[in-house]
Amino acid sequence: NISKGATALIPTVVEFRSNMSKARRKKTPVIPSTFMFEIPDLYQSTLTEKLFLLIDIFLKRGQDRILIFENDQQLKLVYESSTIFMDGTFAIAPAPFKQVYLIHAENFGQGIS
C-alpha cells in the first residue's frame, strides 16, 4: 500500500507524457528548413556501427537532395528477393523534402522493410 502523501508525489499521466516529450525533444535534432544540413554520425550508421546512409547527393545546386538509407543486409535481401514492393508517399515527408520512397522485399513469404 502507498500512503496518500506518496501518491500525491507520483506524476499524473499528463505530467508523465509532458516530461517524456521534453526529454525526447532534448535528444532529437531540430528538423532543418533547407537541404543544407549535416547528417549527424548517429544517423549515418546502425547501432552495430554498420553503414546506414548509403547515398547523400545534392541536385540542382543544392535545391534538391536525395538520401538513401539502407545497410548491406537489406541490400542483399532486395537483390535476392523474387518479389519487391515499392511505394512513394508524400504525406509523411518532413520539410523540406517532398517524398519518402519505401522499398520492401519478400523474405520467406513475409514482407520486410
d(CA 24, CA 16): 12
Splitting the chain (113 residues) into consecutive groups of 10 residues, what average pLDDT does each group show? Answer: 82 86 84 88 91 93 89 90 91 89 84 60
d(CA 55, CA 67): 6
pLDDT of 113: 60
Residue type, 47: L
Per the confidence metrics, is the pTM higher than 0.75?
no
pLDDT of 69: 94
Q: Do the beta carbons of residue 82 and residue 75 sit within 8 Å?
A: no
